[in-house]
């Protein structure tokens, strides 16, 4: 079964180029994205929400117009293997998740998903073959409506110049930028 | 001046396809990524940090192996137009930022970056032409060392099944998944 415009093997190659390696999670994610997309009415302009930072955001970025940098994909760091696509005007859409109740005949996927064995004892080739055979049959799609606060267009507000580092940042942070206030991810930052 | 393996026009097309439109921020970001990359020693395996959710993460995802889904790109939501690439073993690397002090002869870029006029009064074509001429001359690169806590490989831990929704999630959240605990982004989620 194709994944959007790609065959299974073509999508594996697209994933390898973007994500660095063929992670089972993105391939399943590809089927999830397409199943949610096909539930939406034709022509709907949609945004995406994803409930994990792992793998799935890349499936969305590869198969929809939604990316982290354009703001059309929101990430909720719950560690849940689920995503939704919804009409960006009214928030109505569909959520797809990998459904544990559909994994009894897919032992390699189940072992991978629930971490029933250490990764080193699992066979990625076997997991991918089960995914190819299962396609979107292991995903369940249900209706959702996103909370209205997530429909608001993100605003950038006005710009201030930090009194300490001299760099630009959004004025709503105050006079000093978040990095200079102590949130810098660097131990050394040689200006 | 090329942006990695792309000419300026090729990169615009790559950006349009991935990001949906040619945002000035990603084109400048492309020059920033390449300038930081060229400062690293040859062959270093690097991770990325980016100090805004706007545009720049997509420049990193298009020009490096680092994506949000593979965990090699960390996002700090400071609203600062800066990114760094650093050796993933020792955290030493380089940070690139768009340097306000280098924008006096680039009025369209300066107006765009500091929001000196409403967007509707700015000319995207003119901004892009100034970016093409400026290339990486408007970016400043400096040495950084990332905090050791950001060098740690992210761990997924073991998996629990939520007692309410029946879906899988990381055990460290407790017995109930974050969505069922009240963090769900949905007002309606028809199971």
Q: What is the pLDDT of residues A111-168, one digit of tens each?
A: 999 999 998 999 999 999 999 999 999 999 999 999 999 997 766 679 999 999 999 9
Give the C-alpha separation, A39 to A142, whole Å: 9
Q: Which of B2-11, B122-131, B136-145, B180-189 has the lowest mean pLDDT?
A: B180-189
Q: Categorize the per-residue pLDDT at B153 as very low, low, confident or very high, splitting at 50, 70 and 90.
A: confident
Interface touch B67/A113, C-beta < 8 Å:
no
Mean pLDDT score across all residues of chain A:
95
Instruction: State the DSSP H helix or E strand holding residue B87, giving kind and residue range, or none if neither.
Output: strand B82-87
B38-63 confidence digits (pLDDT tens) = 999 999 999 999 999 999 999 999 99
Instruction: State the DSSP H helix or E strand holding residue B93, giving kind and residue range, or none if neither.
Output: strand B92-98
pLDDT at position A156: 63
Place of tokens 């490989």: B153
Question: Is B40 exposed, middle or buried (CB count within 10 Å of its CB: 0-12, 13-18, 19+)?
Answer: middle
Question: Is A29 exposed, middle or buried (CB count within 10 Å of its CB: 0-12, 13-18, 19+)?
Answer: buried
pLDDT at position A142: 96
For B128: left if phi > 0, alpha if psi spans -120 to 50, otherwise beta; the answer is: alpha
DSSP letter assigned to residue A3 = B
Q: Which residues contact A175 (CB under 8 A, 6 or more apart)?
A: A160, A162, A163
Q: Which two tokens stand for residue B149?
A: 């806590």
Interface touch B188/A82, C-beta < 8 Å:
no
Residue B49 phi, psi dihedral angles, 5° rounding: -125, 140
Integer angstrom CA distances of residue A88 from A49, A146, A149 = 11, 9, 12
Q: Which of B71, B80, B186 sits opposite A179 (nearest CB)?
A: B80
pLDDT reading at B156 higher than 70: no
pLDDT at position B29: 98
Interface touch A186/B145, C-beta < 8 Å:
yes
Q: Which of B18, B49, B161 sits opposite A100 (nearest CB)?
A: B161
pLDDT reading at B178 higher than 90: yes
A9-47 confidence digits (pLDDT tens) = 999 999 999 999 999 999 999 999 999 999 999 999 999
**Structural domains present in chain B:** 8-150 (3.30.1330.130), 156-191 (3.30.60.80)
A154-171 confidence digits (pLDDT tens) = 666 799 999 999 999 999
Q: Which two tokens stand for residue A129?
A: 């073959």
B2-25 confidence digits (pLDDT tens) = 999 999 999 999 999 999 999 999
Rg of chain B in Å (alpha carbons): 20
CB A129 within 8 A of CB A122: no
pLDDT at position B100: 96
pLDDT at position B154: 66
* Count of CB pairs separated by less than 8 Å, A with B: 200
pLDDT reading at A107 higher than 80: yes
Interface touch B72/A20, C-beta < 8 Å:
yes
């Amino acid at each position: 079964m194709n994944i959007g415009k790609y065959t299974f093997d073509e999508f594996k190659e697209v994933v390898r180029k973007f994500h660095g390696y063929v992670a089972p999670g993105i391939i399943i994610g590809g089927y999830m994205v397409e199943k949610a997309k096909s539930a939406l009415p034709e022509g709907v302009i949609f945004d995406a929400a994803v409930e994990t930072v792992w793998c799935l955001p890349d499936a969305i970025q590869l198969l929809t117009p939604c990316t982290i940098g354009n703001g059309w994909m929101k990430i909720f760091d719950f560690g849940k293997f689920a995503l939704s696509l919804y009409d960006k005007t009214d928030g109505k859409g569909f959520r797809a998740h990998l459904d544990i109740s559909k994994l009894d005949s897919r032992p390699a996927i189940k072992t991978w998903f629930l971490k029933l064995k250490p990764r080193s004892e699992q066979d990625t080739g076997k997991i991918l073959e089960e995914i190819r055979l299962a396609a979107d049959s292991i995903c369940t799609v249900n209706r959702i409506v996103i909370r209205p606060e997530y429909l608001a267009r993100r605003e950038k507000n006005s710009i201030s110049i930090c009194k300490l580092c001299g760099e630009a940042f959004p004025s709503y942070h105050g006079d000093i930028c978040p990095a200079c206030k102590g949130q810098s991810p660097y131990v050394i930052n040689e200006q």
